[in-house]
Amino acid sequence: MAAEVLTTPYYRVNVLTGTRAARVVDDPAEAARIVAGAKNPLYVLGPDAVRLSAGDKLLIDYALDIAAARDMPICATAHVKRKLVEYGKKPDSTYDIIEIVHFLKMPDWKGVRGEGQHDLVLFSGVRCDLAERGLSTLKHFAPHLRTFAICRRGHPNADYTVPVTARGDRWTEYLQGLVAALG
Amino acid sequence: MTGGKLKDEVVRTTIRAEDDWEPIGPTPMPSVTDLRNWDLRLLDSYEPFYAPFCDLCCLCTYGKCDLTADRKGACGLDMASQQARMILLKCLMGTAAHGAHARHMVDFLIEKYGPEHPIDLGGQVNVESPIIRTVLGLKPQTLADLRKAVEYVEGEVIHLLSATHTGQEGDHRDFESKAFHAGMIDHVALEAADIAQIVGFGYPTSVADTPLVEIGWGAIDKTRPVIVVIGHNAITSNAIVDYLKEKGLYDKVEVAGICCTALDVTRYASFAKVVGPLSQQRFFLKTGIADVIVTDEQCVLTDIPDLAKQTGSALIACSDKICYGLPNRSEEEVEAVLAHVLEEGEGVLLLDPKKAAEVAVKAALALAPRRDKSLLSTEDAAKLAAKCRGTCELCNQACPNLLTVSVAVNAMRQGDPAPIGRLFLRCIGCGACEQACPHHIPVQRLMQAGAVQEKYKLRSGRGPIHDVEIRKVGSPIVLGTIPGVVLFAGCSNFPEDIDDVAWLAEELARRKYIVTLSGCSAMAAAMRKDAEGKTIYEKYTPEFDAGCIVNVGSCVANAHVVGAAIKIANIFACLPNRANFELMADYILNRVGACGVVWGPYSQKALTIGTGAVRWGIPVVLGPHGSKYSRLFMSKKEHGDWRVMDGRTRQLVDTGEPTPEHMMITVESKERALLTIIKQCFRRNDTPPGRAIKLNSYISVAKQVLNSLPDDLQNFVRTERDIPIVYKREVLAYLKEVGWQPKPTLSLPTVIGTYETRVPIEATVKELPKK
């Protein structure tokens, strides 16, 4: 059976007008396998990660757990660094969202830790319309990497996306499941 | 026009080559490729960044062509080139809109005053048209000269548009060069349009302290007959003012505007009022407060005939750009037109401004007593929202501004209007939520119950920056001790609260930036009061100086801020600007810390203005909706090639500092926008004290929004003298930690000499003879 793809996300402004849509990853264990299979992943965090909650935690709390599970570097865009400083953490990069996407599309870029271009990039907490534009850039101009939208609203221009998840409790379960599966 | 003797002859005649106000530079009335090398040099440092909206090209019948995965279309275009082609098309829409506006304005005023009507911008403005002087090489003296400028724009548009046809241009960088050309000639059109209306209508010029006018939907007195003018071309609006004055009715009829027409009618008559920016257009029209709606051109809702029918407002369309399928009654007598309007409820197309004005006023006087303008009560709003349960979320999904509409509507159902009042302040006014609602709940009408009927003070547009102001601020701007000149331009497609522009503007003004505003941004900036009830227009000086808040006027008045940057090079630095685009743009790029901001971008015109600004060397910061333009200009930051010439030693120097860092970038939050704007005002030319002042702002804002030093501080500290004293110890420790090395400081940086150009490097230091 062909994998399910996402063409109509939660926000209609992000509906796919095209031919290449994201594969829906509705099982957090599979999401964990994708993340675990990456050699040099990166997690890009936008400001909604510090504004939106999932259950009784902020989205950024889950994102930090996911990153920590794989020693994944973090790019804190917009003003996300402020929250990380509060947490006593230092992001690996504070490039803004468009800047990090710009560097990610360069095949020979050295990555945020100087260890080479990343092969998988996770996105959370970036404003959905802006994220979709950045994912489109990477879809078309960064064939050397894959993208994974860890966002309950769904992103057709990513390579992998969380399914549109209307219910908050299901979203929390997904995040918890992903963290647990990553060990 | 291509080169050759014929072109030379036409150009020399057009610009009156024999006029000796300045020697003619290398590029009078440049054609499509004359500035191509400059463009490609810019693109070497600032690569186009594309974010395609669509995987396909659907422009010709070879297609649809799938351009994913490095595929090319049947014509041979790849994805990058297709994106750039679409950008050029969008820019041309903007140029055409402004160009047609300028053409209409100039022709109307020539009809009224004759072609020899003089261009006189008052005693404070001698360099009356820095853009036209620089681009064309013409010093316009009359309205007929402005028509020449518009004709030049029209001619270039044809060539540029032809390049978008299938089987024409094929390289994305060349498409971008053409988009730059479209942007530059757009600025010519802007300048021509605004100068024309200043001299034709007597708008303020050579004065900074223009009247404070009322803005806000609460400012409109609905007990009077109300005429609402919408759009950008105030010819008919001004005719309405004339008619009211002539008949002694100006204190009996409300004239209120939405979008730039509002700004321009308040430049003409300070008793006119501003409803607000275009985001409030649909909301306000649905209140039914307008007895008569008068539309002109640009950014006017295309379903106004439906809205007028819903509320019983009369509709008069006044522009050949927007006919709405209405009958053209321009040739009929006023009383006959009124009969159609009042007795049949017919919307009419009236292309004669005087007639439209008379009909509008008479219709408003007749209609007002019979119309019920009461707003929706909380109780009635709750009834209209009764079917909402706040669970289907179809309105949220439809909202292009990603707002949680359902929560507000559901609260309204329960009798709580506060959430929908807050929603009103973030709503961009598209109405998508209403169309998505399966119960047809009129969300925008519900806002009447929650939106606070506030009114604010807005300073009316002041037009050009004065030469004497330029002489005063030129030196501190170039030295860097005035940390930057920021223009907030463009539309009201704001990502969050409407008053965020006011927040950004005030954060900069209190740090002594020169803050200028135009268009819907200028309006939105008025919509925030401090604890004493004052807006930023009441708190900060209107003079073009450190810490000012200057409303230059409507969209076409954007030209004056670009013009101010040119004037710094021309008046302060004494560099010749006549037909000297590259020299001016190089000066601005390297030495004038200017930055354009479009926090709520939506229109093609805003894209064009921004693209033109980039060609002039002015970086642009866009709000998140700007990513949907699908193209930005990004550097490789610290990994880029930042070599420039030292104009004094004529040596190539690796400055190692990415300034300006990007030429067009989208940022997500207002906090990041503030940081980015400040950074985009850094210039290689900054003196150490100037850079220290700029870094002081940069560090203080970083501490405010990131709670830390900026992570890229090392990129912008050239020597220890650049470090602000108050942060010296902390910054030195940080620089040591990251292995910072000193960088060269240049007093005369230029990219002239780093690419093939007819401008000699000597020109960057040559001074005009002092006359």
Distance in angstroms (rounded) separating the CA atoms of residues B77 and B75? 6
| Cβ neighbours of B51 in A, within 8 Å | 133-134, 136-137
CB-closest option in A11, A18, A99 to B56: A18
- Report, as an integer, the average pLDDT of B5-14: 92
Q: Classify A24 as helix, strand or coil.
A: strand
Q: In this predicted model, what pLDDT tens digit does every residue of B486-522 receive, in sequence order? A: 999 999 999 999 999 999 999 999 999 999 999 999 9
Q: In this predicted model, what pLDDT tens digit does every residue of B283-311 receive, in sequence order? A: 999 999 999 999 999 999 999 999 999 99
Looking at this protein, which amino acid is placed at residue B651?
Answer: Q
Tell me: pLDDT of B392 over 80. Answer: yes
Q: Classify B601 as helix, strand or coil.
A: coil
Distance in angstroms (rounded) separating the CA atoms of residues B45 and B641? 7
Q: Do A77 and B637 touch (CB under 8 A)?
A: no
Distance in angstroms (rounded) separating the CA atoms of residues B55 and B66? 6
Distance in angstroms (rounded) separating the CA atoms of residues A150 and A142? 19
Distance in angstroms (rounded) separating the CA atoms of residues B384 and B364? 29
Tell me: pLDDT of B1 over 80. Answer: no
CA distances from B149 to B96, B107, B129, B133, B566 (A): 14, 12, 11, 10, 18
| Residue B328 φ/ψ, nearest 5 degrees | -85, 110
| Cβ neighbours of B712 in A, within 8 Å | 94
Distance in angstroms (rounded) separating the CA atoms of residues A127 and B85? 27
CB-closest option in B69, B624, B706 to A130: B624
Q: Where are the domains of chain B?
A: 5-201, 217-370, 378-450, 456-764
Tell me: pLDDT of B416 over 90. Answer: yes
CB-closest option in A18, A47, A103 to B55: A18
- Give the DSSP letter of residue A79: T
| Cβ neighbours of A85 in B, within 8 Å | 706-708
- Report, as an integer, the average pLDDT of B337-366: 98
Topology of A21-182 in CATH? Rossmann fold (3.40.50)
Are B5-201 and B217-370 equal in CATH topology?
Answer: no
- A/B interface, count of CB pairs below 8 Å: 133
- Burial code of B108-119, b = ≥16 C-beta within 10 A, e = fewer? bbbeeeeeebeb
When computed from its CA atoms, the radius of gyration of chain A, rounded to whole angstroms, is: 15
* SS3 readout for B182-214: HHHHHHHHHHHHHHHHHHHHCCCCCCCCCCEEE
What is the pLDDT at residue B766?
65
| Cβ neighbours of A133 in B, within 8 Å | 51, 627-628, 630, 666
In sequence order, the β-bridge partners of residue B432 are: none
Q: Classify B636 as helix, strand or coil.
A: coil
Q: What is the per-residue DSSP string for B449-516?
A: HHS----EEEEPP--SPPHHHHHHHHHHHHHTSS--EEEE-S----SS-TTHHHHHHHHHHTTT-EEE
Q: In this predicted model, what pLDDT tens digit does every residue of B198-257 receive, in sequence order? A: 999 999 999 999 999 999 999 999 999 999 999 999 999 999 999 999 999 999 999 999
Q: Where are the domains of chain A?
A: 21-182
Pick the CATH number of B5-201 from 3.30.70.60, 3.90.226.30, 1.10.8.190, 1.10.4160.10: 1.10.8.190
In sequence order, the β-bridge partners of residue B682 are: none
| Cβ neighbours of B706 in A, within 8 Å | 79, 81-82, 85, 94
Tell me: pLDDT of B655 over 90. Answer: yes
Q: Evaluate whether the domain defined by B217-370 bears CATH number 3.50.50.60.
A: no
What is the pLDDT at residue B747?
83
Look at residues A80, A89, A84 and name the one whose alpha carbon lies nearest to residue A123.
A80
CB-closest option in A10, A19, A79 to B672: A79
Distance in angstroms (rounded) separating the CA atoms of residues B376 and B398? 24
Q: In this predicted model, what pLDDT tens digit does every residue of B757-770 receive, in sequence order? A: 999 999 998 665 55
Paired tokens of B420: 């929908």
- Report, as an integer, the average pLDDT of B543-567: 98
pLDDT, mean over chain B? 96
| Cβ neighbours of A77 in B, within 8 Å | 668, 672
Look at residues B757, B612, B755 and name the one whose alpha carbon lies nearest to residue B135.
B612
Paired tokens of B469: 């102001």
Measure in Å the smallest separation between the Cα of B57 and chain A Cα atoms. Answer: 10
| Residue B292 φ/ψ, nearest 5 degrees | -130, 135
Chain A: residue nearest B496 by CA?
Answer: A127
Measure in Å the smallest separation between the Cα of B680 and chain A Cα atoms. Answer: 14
Q: Are B692 and B673 in contact (CB under 8 A)?
A: no
Distance of CA B689 to the CA centre of its chain: 32
Q: Classify A129 as helix, strand or coil.
A: helix
What string of pLDDT tens digits covers the 183 residues of chain A? 578 999 999 999 999 999 999 999 999 999 999 999 999 999 999 999 999 999 999 999 999 999 999 999 999 999 999 999 999 999 999 999 999 999 999 999 999 999 999 999 999 999 999 999 999 999 999 999 999 999 999 999 999 999 999 999 999 999 999 999 998
* CATH no. of B456-764: 3.40.50.2030
Q: Provide the pLDDT confidence category of residue B5 given band limits of 50, 70 and 90.
A: confident
Chain A: residue nearest B632 by CA?
Answer: A98
Residue B6, burial from CB neighbour count under 10 angstroms (0-12, 13-18, 19+): exposed
In sequence order, the β-bridge partners of residue B654 are: B643
Q: Provide the pLDDT confidence category of residue B566 given band limits of 50, 70 and 90.
A: very high
What is the pLDDT at residue B771?
46
Look at residues B78, B80, B53 and name the one whose alpha carbon lies nearest to residue B65.
B78
| Residue B456 φ/ψ, nearest 5 degrees | -135, 175
Q: Do A79 and B56 touch (CB under 8 A)?
A: no
Tell me: pLDDT of B120 over 50. Answer: yes
Q: Do A13 and B665 touch (CB under 8 A)?
A: no
Q: Do A134 and B51 touch (CB under 8 A)?
A: yes
Chain B: residue nearest A127 by CA?
Answer: B668
